Amino acid sequence: MKLRLLVVGRGSRELSDFEDRFIERLKPFAPCQVVELPEGRGKQVSQRKQEEAKQILKHAAAGFVLFDERGSLNSSKQWAGFLSTLSGDAQQDFVIGGADGISDEVRRAAGACWSLSKLTLPHQLVRAVVLEQLYRGFTIIQGHPYHRV
């Protein structure tokens, strides 16, 4: 299985070590790649969302999981359940939009729409949280002591 985290915009220097640590930890379970997509350059929010939507839909594989504030809230164990359904040669994409949010077109194309919190989070922080939760999900599947309840 291969994992890709498609993100609009660049990551944070302050969080890059954290991200790298979890990308490394994920390797025994599934290789994970972070793909940074360009932010929209339009003057209007709607233009920027449209430009970003084109990039997302160009790169994201069918069935991608979109992170959006309107999505369903899932526990770490539910993430693990989802990961356990993926086949050995599958590629699963996870999409994090830009600072202006996601277009309805992307939301409709997503295979699933998840929320991390009712809080509005900066997309740089969302990257870090998603990578950690992916690792946590795999450790739950393996019965590894990383996940404590």
User: What CATH number belongs to 2-142?
Assistant: 3.40.1280.10
Reported confidence tier of residue 35, pLDDT bands at 50, 70, 90:
very high
Reported confidence tier of residue 140, pLDDT bands at 50, 70, 90:
very high
Q: Does 97 carry a binding-site annotation?
A: yes
Q: Does 137 carry a binding-site annotation?
A: no
Average pLDDT over residues 88-100: 92
Domain coordinates in residue numbering, the chain: 2-142
Reported confidence tier of residue 148, pLDDT bands at 50, 70, 90:
confident
CA atoms of 82 and 78, how far apart (whole Å): 6
Q: Does 117 carry a binding-site annotation?
A: yes
Q: Does 116 carry a binding-site annotation?
A: yes
Q: Where are the beta strands (DSSP E) in 21-142?
A: 32-37, 65-73, 91-96, 112-115
The whole-number pLDDT of residue 96 equals 97
Q: Does 57 carry a binding-site annotation?
A: no
Element housing 3 (H / E): strand 2-8
Q: Does 77 carry a binding-site annotation?
A: no
Q: Does 125 carry a binding-site annotation?
A: no
CA atoms of 122 and 84, how far apart (whole Å): 28
Residue pair 3/94 in contact by the 8 Å Cβ criterion: yes
Residue pair 40/50 in contact by the 8 Å Cβ criterion: yes
Structure token pair of residue 5: 């985290």
Reported confidence tier of residue 112, pLDDT bands at 50, 70, 90:
very high
The whole-number pLDDT of residue 149 equals 62
pTM: 0.94
